[in-house]
Amino acid sequence: MKAAILALLTVVTIATATAGCQPRRKTARENTAPPAIGVEQLKADGVAHLEAGRYRNALRALVEALSRSPEDVTLHYLVGVTFSHLQRKDDAIIAFRWVVEHGRPGSKEVQGASQWLRSTACCRPRPPRPAPTRKSP
């Protein structure tokens, strides 16, 4: 009987000691990431440069902000706008497609990105090709 109680106490002690080593599960509130440091300031700087026509400076600030907050749809949209002004069409297409795929349907970013993509020759729906005609033998 003493051996059984001693074994039980040993198991409880080990379980208690190792439970402290396990990472604590985070609540939903704790899982929400805080805004990355400096993102809002970089975004504001990028917008100011964009509005002033300083597109290279805008791109630097916005890409830095995006590296700190890669899921920010507005940043992807602003980067797409900047690429468009820099005549970097392929890069703009990538940015705007990301916005359309990841943004909230109906948001101003998704609407703007969709409109830009539709206005670009590469992204307009192509008319259906006529079916090939067979020659009679």
Place of tokens 């890409």: 63
The pair of three-digit structure tokens given for residue 41, joined into one six-digit string? 């300031």
* DSSP state string for the chain: -HHHHHHHHHHHHHHHHHHTTSPPPPPHHHHSPPPPTTHHHHHHHHHHHHHTT-HHHHHHHHHHHHHH-TT-HHHHHHHHHHHHHTT-HHHHHHHHHHHHHHSPTT-HHHHHHHHHHHHSGGGSPPPPPPPPPPPP-
How much is the pLDDT for 120? 86
Largest distance between two CA atoms of the chain: 100
- pLDDT tens for the chain, residues 1 to 137: 555 444 444 444 454 444 455 455 444 344 455 556 799 999 999 999 999 999 999 999 999 999 999 999 999 999 999 999 999 999 999 999 999 999 999 999 999 999 999 998 666 554 555 656 666 55
- How confident is the model at residue 48, as a pLDDT? 97
Q: Which domains does the chain have, with CATH numbers?
A: 37-122 (1.25.40.10)
CB atoms < 10 A from the CB of 37, how many? 10
Tokens 């909230």 sit on residue: 104
